[in-house]
Amino acid sequence: MTDKSPAEHELSRLIVEVLNLEDVTAEEIGPEEPLFGDGLGLDSIDALELAMAISKQYGVQLKADDEDTRAVFENVRTLSAYIQQEADAA
């Protein structure tokens, strides 16, 4: 498994906390593990809750109608990179 950056680890903690994942710890979420499907198994409701938490925590908006959103939510690494990119652009 690839090591997580501090930002990726913080995002993993946010995912576990916001989605109340009882069977998973932040340390167990690999930075390149898929968040949906066969990976962590999140669904569209989880994505909505996570997007709202990211908006509140980081001030970054994730729009459901944006065609790039699916790629952004691929894994913790892509999500963290997007948050950093948006924060740098602000």
Q: What is the pLDDT of residues 34-54, one digit of tens each?
A: 999 888 999 989 999 999 999
Cα Dmax for the chain: 36
CA distance 16 to 64: 21
Residue type at position 46: D
Evaluate if residue 64 carries a pLDDT over 90.
no
Domains of the chain and CATH, by start = 6-89 (1.10.1200.10)
- The pTM for the full model equals 0.90
Phi, psi at 61, each rounded to 5°: -95, 130
